[in-house]
């Protein structure tokens, strides 16, 4: 076999999601501005044309207002959920940079859809507004790559997985050792290396180590995450990097398990009740706003309810919200029935138990007009 004679790169970027493609394109553009050649390699484990990683799967809902300014309450939310441990300088920096970042995306061909939300109380300080790119995160990557491909000084190495940072005897990072699709190892020398290869969603061993029991049952939230095996974290730790954040946390969502399309999130758990197989409510659906709770209820469903829960609501809610993003992400229609016992039967649940739970919940209702824009904590689960 011919030896792999890699050029020396000024920058080696590992991963081609948002982090990797933004780093590569920024570097290439800056080099051009400065009149420098600046040779870049993007190392990507996935195949060319494949939706590898997270960025190519997300809808990328963004907490931006009408002027693309970031939700200024986000820092408070981070303080709250981290119980004061969040790096607030980092949060402030992010808030400061976001309008320029949104402009950068617009300048590079990404279309941002602006949405005024009438039904769901958002906790963001964006005046009931949020933004999402047309075509989701995949469209962001496609647009960034269109610009990257204009540069002849950038090589994209697909089906190439970084396995180790190369270092000098003194410990300086000098490049990356990669495994190519032939199964063999090669060295890619680089003056600078950016690790942008995601988390460890696709690594059962690391999931069990950090997140804990039952992670072997955890389905991937998107197929492209199989490539995110924690290689970047392990490579960095191996050369003495520090850590930040909580390794035992994760992003999870309640999804319609009948759906054939990915990311079939059932967002609006607040506008009804969620019961387990025993027809019991296990999470206070109205505890906080939708975006503050959708991950927590999913986490409890996975951890304590054997990954199964049923969202039960009525036609008033469905008619109010559909069509729309809240209950339209699944390609399967909801299961409908004319009575609670009939619904229980269709779901394979105990009709008496489900009727009892719904009756108890409904007893807490009063005659005040229903207000979707206010939290209404009337009956907490036992
Ligand atoms: C279904 C879903 C919905 C989401 N919804 C939202 C949302 O609404 N709003 C929001 O802000 N965020 C959302 N997120 C989170 C967001 O998408 C991620 O935080 C973001 O895309 C991470 O970008 P990244 O570049 O760090 O990682 P990724 O996009 O995962 O990129 C990592 C890349 O590295 C590659 N790679 C992995 N290991 C190696 C290796 N050893 N060598 C070479 N390449 C490697 C992978 O193939 C991948 O292409 C969502 C995520 C998912 C999956």
Whether residue 13 contacts residue 41, with contact meaning beta carbons closer than 8 Å, is answered with: yes
pLDDT of 1 reads: 43
- Three-state DSSP class for residue 33: helix
pLDDT of 241 reads: 97
**In whole angstroms, what is the distance from residue 250 CA to residue 215 CA?**
11
Q: Are 289 and 157 members of one domain?
A: no
Could you list the residue range(s) of the whole structural domain that residue 51 is in?
9-195
Distance between start and end Cα atoms, the chain? 67
State the average pLDDT over residues 191-205.
97
Reported as a pLDDT band with limits 50, 70 and 90, residue 5 is: confident
Task: Provide the token pair at 134.
Answer: 């047309």
Q: Are 263 and 190 members of one domain?
A: no
The domain boundary, picked from 129, 162, 195, lies at 195
Minimum mean pLDDT range among 166-170, 339-343, 373-377: 373-377
Q: Is the predicted pLDDT of residue 377 greater than 80, yes or no?
A: no
Ligand 1 atom, smallest distance to 161 CA: 42
- Three-state DSSP class for residue 2: coil
Ligand 1: which residue has its CA nearest to atom 10?
Answer: 60
Q: Are 187 and 300 members of one domain?
A: no
Number of domains in the chain: 2
In testing the pocket of ligand 1, which one of 25, 26, 55, 265 has its CB within 8 Å of the most ligand atoms? 55
The domain boundary, picked from 195, 210, 242, lies at 195
Q: Are 92 and 170 members of one domain?
A: yes
Ligand 1: which residue has its CA nearest to atom 1?
Answer: 58
In testing the pocket of ligand 1, which one of 20, 23, 53, 166 has its CB within 8 Å of the most ligand atoms? 53
Tell whether ligand 1 has an atom less than 6 A from the beta carbon of residue 263.
yes
Q: Is the predicted pLDDT of residue 359 greater than 60, yes or no?
A: yes
Tell whether ligand 1 has an atom less than 6 A from the beta carbon of residue 291.
no
Of the chain, the percentage scoring pLDDT greater than 90 comes to: 85
Tell whether ligand 1 has an atom less than 6 A from the beta carbon of residue 46.
yes
Q: Are 39 and 150 members of one domain?
A: yes
**In whole angstroms, what is the distance from residue 235 CA to residue 233 CA?**
6
Tell whether ligand 1 has an atom less than 6 A from the beta carbon of residue 13.
no
In a domain, 215, yes or no: no
pLDDT of 365 reads: 83
Q: Are 275 and 178 members of one domain?
A: no
pLDDT of 210 reads: 96
Instruction: Supply φ then ψ for residue 232, to 5 degrees.
Output: -65, -45
**In whole angstroms, what is the distance from residue 343 CA to residue 335 CA?**
8
Pairing between strand 185-195 and 173-180?
antiparallel
Whether residue 68 contacts residue 98, with contact meaning beta carbons closer than 8 Å, is answered with: yes
pLDDT averaged over every residue in the chain? 94
Q: Is the predicted pLDDT of residue 104 greater than 80, yes or no?
A: yes
Q: Are 117 and 15 members of one domain?
A: yes
Tell whether ligand 1 has an atom less than 6 A from the beta carbon of residue 124.
no
State the average pLDDT over residues 67-94.
96
What does the pLDDT look like over 233-270, one tens digit per residue? Answer: 999 999 999 998 889 988 899 999 999 877 789 999 99
Q: Are 158 and 263 members of one domain?
A: no
What does the pLDDT look like over 19-77, one tens digit per residue? Answer: 999 999 999 999 999 999 999 999 999 999 999 999 999 999 999 999 999 999 999 99
Q: Where are the alpha helices (DSSP H) in the chain?
A: 18-33, 74-81, 88-107, 136-148, 204-210, 231-238, 290-304, 315-321, 340-347, 351-363
DSSP states along 3-14: ---PPPEEEEEE
In testing the pocket of ligand 1, which one of 42, 58, 159, 180 has its CB within 8 Å of the most ligand atoms? 58
Residue from 264, 305, 251, 253 nearest 282 by CA:
305
Query: What is the CATH number for 135?
Result: 3.50.50.60
pLDDT of 2 reads: 44
382 CA to centre of ligand 1 in angstroms: 37
The domain boundary, picked from 146, 175, 195, lies at 195
């Amino acid at each position: 076999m011919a030896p792999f004679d890699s050029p020396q790169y000024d920058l080696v970027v590992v991963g081609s999601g948002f982090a990797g493609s933004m780093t590569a394109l920024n570097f290439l553009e800056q080099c051009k501005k400065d009149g420098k050649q600046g040779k870049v390699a993007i190392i990507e484990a996935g195949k060319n044309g494949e939706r590898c990683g997270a960025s190519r799967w997300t809808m990328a809902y963004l907490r931006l207002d009408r002027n693309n300014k970031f939700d200024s309450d986000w820092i408070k939310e981070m303080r709250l959920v981290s119980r004061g441990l969040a790096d607030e300088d980092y949060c402030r920096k992010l808030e400061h940079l976001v309008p320029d970042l949104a402009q950068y995306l617009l300048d590079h061909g990404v279309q941002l859809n602006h949405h005024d939300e009438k039904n769901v109380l958002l906790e963001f300080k964006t005046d009931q507004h949020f933004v999402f790119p047309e075509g989701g995160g995949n469209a962001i990557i496609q647009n960034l790559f269109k610009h990257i491909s204009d540069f002849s000084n950038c090589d994209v190495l697909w089906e190439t997985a970084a396995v180790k940072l190369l270092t000098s005897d003194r410990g300086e990072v000098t490049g990356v050792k990669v495994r190519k699709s032939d199964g063999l190892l090669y060295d890619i020398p680089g003056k600078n290396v950016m690790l942008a290869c995601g988390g460890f969603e696709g690594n059962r061993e690391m999931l069990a180590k950090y997140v804990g029991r039952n992670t072997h049952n955890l389905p991937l939230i998107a197929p492209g995450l199989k490539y995110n095996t924690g290689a970047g974290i392990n490579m960095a730790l191996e050369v003495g990097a520090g850590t930040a954040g909580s390794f035992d946390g994760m992003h999870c969502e309640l999804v319609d398990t009948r759906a054939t399309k990915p990311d079939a999130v059932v967002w609006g758990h607040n506008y009804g009740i969620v019961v387990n197989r025993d027809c019991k409510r296990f999470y206070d659906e109205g505890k906080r706003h939708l975006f503050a709770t959708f991950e927590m209820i999913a986490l409890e469903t996975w951890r304590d309810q054997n990954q199964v829960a049923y969202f039960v609501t009525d036609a008033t809610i469905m008619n109010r919200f559909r069509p729309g993003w809240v209950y339209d992400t699944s390609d399967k229609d909801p299961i409908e029935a004319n009575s609670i016992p009939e619904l229980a039967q269709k779901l394979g649940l105990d009709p008496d138990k489900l009727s009892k739970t719904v009756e108890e919940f409904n007893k807490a209702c009063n005659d005040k007009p229903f207000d979707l824009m206010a939290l209404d904590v009337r009956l907490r689960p036992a």
